[in-house]
Structure 1
């Protein structure tokens, strides 16, 4: 916002004509570049601020990774654009002569715009590093659920053959059910049977 405000407020001058000229070596592209990148990064930062507020409510790991990836890509692009802007504005300001700026008109605003272009490089580079760290943490947390060893393997092997009463072995395929219900067999010894009433 500082770069945008400096260029819009004092980045243009009119010397003996109705046409406004850019203070950066009378190059309109320099002023337009600073204003465009400043507005784009300001709007992008507002959007990602809203995304950061709603980020904890996103339950899908895939959507979280996409949000972190977009944040990282935008921050890296913004840092690169500010680097280009710093080099471009500094070069144009270096070529500006005192004859083109009577009474140093707009010189403070031009220097402030160049300085804050440099600060913006560091700021967006830091945001890129934070977004990268968030992206890596999401992958590590997701791998905890996908790459963990299957602890039920041994349990499945033990649960397949379950001995029960009377020497009968029941083979099950469900690892969570040790023995099916009603698996015990009754002994039908004729000596233990008592005759019932005859009608």
Structure 2
């Protein structure tokens, strides 16, 4: 995990290092999510439909149009979200507000967790629909349909990994928020003084009683 700033981010205003940026696990996972989303909706959009003898298009997933629409829908939304989160990762280092960082991390955590679940549902849905389908005799679109199923399965883990890293960020930020903001005195260390200019010199009493006695002697009445 990244360190040095709130919620796992670097210090706000630090110079941007592209090498460090592309090596961050969050950036790598979001780039993988983006790639997988393109493959999923691209495979279905390209050869996931076929025209019948009447010229009407049908979905190769057991002629279930909802199956194709579901795969394309979650893929397109995942693609747009991945671009947005990659931009957010770049801006994350520039966020000086801890509250803004917290909101971004919670958004990342919620969306990534939700999309991992939706991809799991999509994998089950597409797999079940394809198992009931009759494969085209000429093999049209078979590789695309199966490829969409495979990368839907891989997307479950990429988005789940993003959610895990977002949770670690949130946990790190929460722990920092409740950490003590003071430094404890070292064991055996020197004590503190009550005011800044205090010294270790001992207090010396003024010789007030002797002075008082001398003054009283000057006013002593003469004896006869």
What range is the shorter-chain TM-score in? 0.7 to 0.9
Tell me the SS of whatever aligns to 1:113. Answer: helix
Tell which has more relative contact order, 1 or 2 (C-alpha 8 A, sep 6+): 2
Aligned residue number for residue 113 of structure 1: 148
- Contact 1:76–1:125 under 8 Å retained in 2: yes
For the residues of structure 1 that align with 2:114 and 2:183, how far apart are their CA atoms? Answer: 42
Q: May I ask how many residue pairs the two structures share in their alignment?
A: 163
For the residues of structure 2 that align with 1:114 and 1:58, how far apart are their CA atoms? Answer: 38
For the residues of structure 2 that align with 1:4 and 1:54, how far apart are their CA atoms? Answer: 28
148, 153, 159: which one pairs with 2:181? 148
> Displacement, 1:155?
5.4
> Displacement, 1:45?
0.7
Q: Runs of at least 4 residues of structure 1 off by over 2 A?
A: 140-144, 147-152
59, 63, 72: which one pairs with 1:35? 72
Q: Which runs of 5 or more residues in structure 1 are unaligned?
A: 168-188, 190-199
TM-score by length of 2: 0.65
> Displacement, 1:151?
5.8
> Displacement, 1:166?
8.4
Q: Aligned-pair RMSD on alpha carbons?
A: 2.7
Q: Which runs of 5 or more residues in structure 2 are unaligned?
A: 1-37, 186-190, 206-210, 212-224
117, 120, 138: which one pairs with 1:83? 120
For the residues of structure 2 that align with 1:27 and 1:94, how far apart are their CA atoms? Answer: 12
62, 67, 85: which one pairs with 1:25? 62
For the residues of structure 1 that align with 2:43 and 2:204, how far apart are their CA atoms? Answer: 93
For the residues of structure 2 that align with 1:33 and 1:155, how far apart are their CA atoms? Answer: 68
TM-score by length of 1: 0.73
Instruction: Establish whether residue 97 from structure 1 lines up as the match of residue 127 from structure 2.
Output: no
- 1:73-119 deviation line (CA, Å, top 9, x unaligned): 00001100100000000000000024xx2322211111000000000
